[in-house]
Amino acid sequence: MAGKIFINYRRDDSIGTAGRLYDRLAQTFGSKNMFMDVDHIPAGVDFVEYLHGQVAACDVFLAVMGPNWLNAKDERGRRRVDNPDDYVTIEIAAALARNIRVIPVLVDGARTPNADKLPDSVKPLVRRNAVEIRNTQFGRDAEALIKKVHEALEGARPETGKWPFLASAATWLMAPGQWRTVAASATALLLLGWIGLYQMGVPVWAPWADADKAKTAADAEARRNEAEQQRLKQQVERQARVAADAETKRKAAEAEQQRLKEEVERQVRVAADAESKLKAAEAEQQRLTGIKEEAQRQAQAAADAEAKRKAAEAEQQRLKDEQQRLAKAAADVETKRKAAEAEQQRLATVKAEEDRKAAAPTDTAAQFTIKSDTAASGYPANIESAARSAKECELLCARSATCKIFTFDNKALRCYVYSRAEDITYWPNRNYIAGTRK
């Protein structure tokens, strides 16, 4: 299937996907039927005219649009799509004007832009059905695009397009007139002969085709003239911008030269001021050196005096510390003496208590009234200690001269002894036994 495919894209938007598409389409349709970008333009030709010629010669035009296609900026910060020199927009506009099959190819989530955000020349692009290409499933999406391109190429060259004179002949045959019936047979025979000769490659002529060819040639010439006028206009505008830029740069260069001249003069003045300040600083430094030497001598004398003063203070402090140490030692001796006396007194008290306990009776049944399943509590307890039985707790209370009440916890094996009966509260508790001195 003969047919030219033009791939249009922005380098800073979708160059990777466009390259992959070119390789995949070239495998199916052949690289000689592909045109991608300026890398395929022969050396030494006017590439604007060459691009227009390639667009005019193509049968299918693929407009590859990535997520940044609409908002891509040029070096001046303008949207490229608004720049009259934007070749991507020029190519799309030329394809739409020639009614070439234009297929928008949306890459990685890109969406067809709104018509109000496009120049008038490419607004019809939004009415063209798009094909989506995702790099995550490139193989499957590329196959779907190839199928669409096949369909577009088949529709680009219909049978009536291969033999344009057939359509004109059919119109001629259907024209009103009484002679049509008489001439129908002869015309049919002529048509069959022309078709046979045309299919064998023999040039044929049809009188009704001249008007169509002339009109087609005139339309093509008009479009070429319009495109040339547009190109010349854009070239003039571009040259005007270049001249304006050159003038701006010239003025900037003059301003820079003036600034550099003033900067040199300023630096000369600064150098002279620096030399004067250096000489004044050297004189001041010499004066300060003498002052510094005198200050160092006086500082040394003051340091010697301060050292002697500190030595005298240190000696006084040493004597004071020695007196405090002796006084503390005497106090420690006195404290130890009193502690020894207190320990002797405590030992005597303990011995007396032990003697009393030894003499205390072991039979305490006559001393306490026992209450089973009863707990007694008060604050504070004179003694709280571990006991193996209620009897042991009772003996503990009996051996204390101040104990009035005891209570024993059968579960925790704890003995509580109280000296103030009026502060005691009783309540039933089967884990306890209480006793009150009679």
Q: Are the C-beta atoms of 341 and 400 separated by less than 8 Å?
A: no
Instruction: Report the SS3 class of residue 390.
Output: helix
- DSSP states of 379-434 as a string? SS-SEEEE-SSHHHHHHHHHT-TT--EEEEETTTTEEEEES-GGG-EEEEEEEEEE
Asked if omega into 361 is within 30° of 0 (cis), the reply is: no
Does domain 368-437 fall under CATH 3.90.1150.10? My reply is no
Cα(393)–Cα(412) distance, integer angstroms: 13
Asked if omega into 428 is within 30° of 0 (cis), the reply is: no
Q: Are the C-beta atoms of 127 and 76 separated by less than 8 Å?
A: no
Q: Are the C-beta atoms of 433 and 376 separated by less than 8 Å?
A: no
Cα(110)–Cα(108) distance, integer angstroms: 6
Residue extents of the structural domains in the chain:
5-158, 368-437
Q: Nearest-CA neighbor of 427 among 373, 352, 346?
A: 373
- Give me Rg for the CA atoms of the chain: 59
- Give the neighbor-by-neighbor strand order of the sheet with 60-65: 34-35, 5-8, 60-65, 101-107, 131-133
> At which residue do the structure tokens 């495919």 appear?
5
- DSSP states of 28-50 as a string? HH-GGGEE-SGGGSPTTS-HHHH
Cα(357)–Cα(379) distance, integer angstroms: 25
Tell me the pLDDT of the chain (438 aa) as tens digits.
Answer: 568 999 999 998 999 999 999 999 999 999 999 998 756 677 888 877 887 888 999 999 999 999 999 999 988 999 999 999 899 999 999 999 999 999 999 999 999 999 999 999 999 999 999 999 999 999 999 999 999 999 999 876 544 344 444 334 433 343 444 434 434 555 555 555 545 544 444 444 444 444 555 566 667 767 776 776 677 677 657 765 755 665 768 887 688 989 988 996 999 798 788 798 989 879 899 998 888 999 799 989 889 989 999 998 999 999 999 999 999 999 999 999 999 999 998 888 777 666 665 555 556 667 899 999 999 988 777 788 889 999 999 999 999 888 999 999 999 999 999 988 888 899 999 999 999 998
Q: Tell me, what's the pLDDT at 308?
A: 95
Q: Nearest-CA neighbor of 65 among 23, 128, 4?
A: 128
Token digits of residue 99 = 């009614």
Cα(151)–Cα(176) distance, integer angstroms: 37
What is the CATH number that goes with domain 5-158?
3.40.50.10140
User: What letter represents residue 154's amino acid?
Assistant: E
Classify residue 164 by burial, with Cβ atoms within 10 Å: 0-12, 13-18, 19+.
Answer: middle
Q: Nearest-CA neighbor of 63 among 33, 28, 94?
A: 94
Cα(109)–Cα(141) distance, integer angstroms: 13
Residues 6+ apart with CB under 8 A from 29: 1, 3, 5, 149
Q: What is the largest distance, in Å, between two alpha-carbon atoms of the chain?
A: 166
Q: Tell me, what's the pLDDT at 323?
A: 93
CB atoms within 10 A of CB 224: 14
